[in-house]
Amino acid sequence: MDETVSIVLFSGTDDKLAAAAVLAAGGAALGRPVRIFLQYWGLNAFRADRIMSDHGLVPEAGAAGRAAVDAAAKAGQAHWADTLRMAKELGDVDIQACSASMVLLKLKQSDLDPMVDGVEGVAAFYSNAGDGQIIFI
Amino acid sequence: MDETVSIVLFSGTDDKLAAAAVLAAGGAALGRPVRIFLQYWGLNAFRADRIMSDHGLVPEAGAAGRAAVDAAAKAGQAHWADTLRMAKELGDVDIQACSASMVLLKLKQSDLDPMVDGVEGVAAFYSNAGDGQIIFI
Amino acid sequence: MDETVSIVLFSGTDDKLAAAAVLAAGGAALGRPVRIFLQYWGLNAFRADRIMSDHGLVPEAGAAGRAAVDAAAKAGQAHWADTLRMAKELGDVDIQACSASMVLLKLKQSDLDPMVDGVEGVAAFYSNAGDGQIIFI
């Protein structure tokens, strides 16, 4: 068994980013290697100049969902970016930007939050995933 | 090989809930243990007082997709909640609410449909998933 | 280890279809069998009469995301359908329509793009997936 948990993080809303962060932090807390591959709007959310901005929620959240998320933030729930930073400190969490999405969004690695460890292609992603679980979010 | 199929059910639209129910029922029919972990809007859809309500569809369904789904329901297609209830009767299907999402949405287990078997955290989710497939919906 | 990569393609927006095509092409380029199971709006996007039409983007793409995707297309980036056709020529990529979604959308196989190899149910999908990775998009 390859214990690595790989997350393809395509989505860019704060609720899906939080779900990804919780799955990553949970895997890391269990001592499992975690690999995150940032594509499209998931990558866009890691731009250094707006990582802490409001990235919205999926449409079905609605007004009640928005209120619940805002209340949790006010009550001190960690932001997904901080959850990921903590997971990287405590465990083996590697975050890579998808090279094709970098071109699409005209980004350089210096545009991204420092918690992004590098840029790689889909072949490297598969190679690092081995035969471990792949979770597309 | 761990034959368990684990589904992280994050999304709360009826089409994605139906897709999850079909994958769960299919796995159960093949004799595989199925574990469903309810997060965010997927969890919200299992509130006892509104599980059979209209939860909408993903945006790309559009008007034509909405009409197709409505026509199928009228023609007798099972509701996703009934598909899941049947899958639980026929096979080994366990449905757990994510404890963090329960707090976020201020829910108690008694607020949820009785087919939800319990509440657990992400560590228990990973433990139950073993090295089986994880499907994020 | 079962090297097969299975993709349940539920979503019908061009960005998610492109992400699926890249993961399929990447797997095929590495010599891995790739199985794609088309459901709902993912299936709808493979209708022969509109596969090259604009299928929109996920909501969080926004106007800036739309502009980035349009600019990439103008600069010669391959359409996801062409990426998949190429992947099928170079590797072992099998594309199956979900039989239940065919009924829902009232489609016959002749309504679909010729790159769709057949129609199957969820049991056949699981059987082909073996214990390989399953990616729900």
For A72-89, write each residue's pLDDT tens digit: 999 999 999 999 999 999
Predicted pLDDT at B61: 98
Predicted pLDDT at A2: 66
The pLDDT tens digits for B18-67 are: 999 999 999 999 999 999 999 999 999 999 999 999 999 999 999 999 99
Predicted pLDDT at C1: 53
Over residues A26-33, the mean pLDDT reads 97
Cβ–Cβ under 8 Å, residues B98 and B121: yes
Mean pLDDT of chain A: 97
Set of chain C residues whose Cβ sits within 8 Å of the Cβ of B135: 8, 134, 136
Predicted pLDDT at B59: 97
Tell me: pLDDT of A1 over 80: no
CB contact under 8 A, B77 and C106: no
The pLDDT tens digits for B56-102 are: 999 999 999 999 999 999 999 999 999 999 999 999 999 999 999 99
Assembly ipTM: 0.96
Q: In 3D, which of A19, A6, A29, A2 has the Cα closest to residue A87?
A: A29
Amino acid in position C30: L
Looking at the complex, report in whole angstroms how far the Cα of residue C44 sits from the nearest Cα belonging to chain A: 21
Predicted pLDDT at C64: 97
Predicted pLDDT at B128: 96
Over residues A60-68, the mean pLDDT reads 98
Long-range CB contact pairs, B72-81, < 8 A, 24+: B72/C103, B72/C104, B77/C104, B79/B52, B80/B14, B80/B17, B80/B18, B80/B20, B80/B21, B81/B21, B81/B51, B81/B52, B81/B113, B81/B115
Looking at the complex, report in whole angstroms how far the Cα of residue C4 sits from the nearest Cα belonging to chain A: 10
CB contact under 8 A, C26 and A126: yes
Q: What is the pTM of this model?
A: 0.97
Share of chain A above pLDDT 70, in %: 99
Write the CA distances from C75 to A12, A41, B10, C68, integer angstroms: 24, 20, 36, 10
Interface of B with C (CB under 8 A): 1-3, 15-16, 19, 22-23, 25-27, 29-30, 32, 58-61, 65, 68-69, 72, 77, 132-133, 135-137
Predicted pLDDT at B101: 98
Set of chain B residues whose Cβ sits within 8 Å of the Cβ of C39: 19
CB contact under 8 A, C41 and B30: no
Share of chain A above pLDDT 90, in %: 99
CB contact under 8 A, B131 and A3: yes
* Tokens read off for B128: 């139950």
Tell me: pLDDT of A58 over 70: yes
In order along its 137 residues, chain C shows pLDDT tens digits of 569 999 999 999 999 999 999 999 999 999 999 999 999 999 999 999 999 999 999 999 999 999 999 999 999 999 999 999 999 999 999 999 999 999 999 999 999 999 999 999 999 999 999 999 999 99
Tell me: pLDDT of B2 over 80: no
SS3 of B21-65: HHHHHHHHHCCCCEEEEECHHHHHCCECCCCCCCCCCCHHHHHHH
Q: How many Å is the Cα radius of gyration of chain B?
A: 15
